[in-house]
Amino acid sequence: MRTTIKTKNAPAAIGPYSQGVVFQGKLVYTAGQIPLNPQTGDLLNENIQEATKRVLENVQAILEEAGTSLANVVKTTVFMTDLGEFAQMNEVYGQFFKDNLPARSAVQVSALPLGARVEIEAVALVK
């Protein structure tokens, strides 16, 4: 069984995909989130810290709509256009993930949607 997640507290999908999907009531998979303000649609991309904070707030909103939280994330994937900004991204990331640290991959990509500098997707347990 699969349930689609949709919340106004995270940006609406900008293509043919869901914000998140819960599988068999046990796992939620979020779509990759970029630093879009869900209320205005503005891209918050001035610096990597601001961008990472907005991205993780978006991920958090999707997880909460699915009935879980960042504390239950088991895996994240971070996409960045400049791994030279990794330390700054990691500092903000660490403010959101303090205990029960998820597994993580981080990769540099040539471009992200709408010119974003960071995108993060997550897999979490639904509790």
Percent of the chain with pLDDT over 70: 100
Q: 2-125 maps to which CATH number? A: 3.30.1330.40
pLDDT for residue 14? 84
Q: Where are the domains of the chain?
A: 2-125
The C-alpha atoms of residue 4 and residue 21 are separated, in whole angstroms, by 5
Report whether 63 contacts 122 (CB < 8 A).
yes
Segment 63-76, tens digit of pLDDT: 999 999 999 999 99
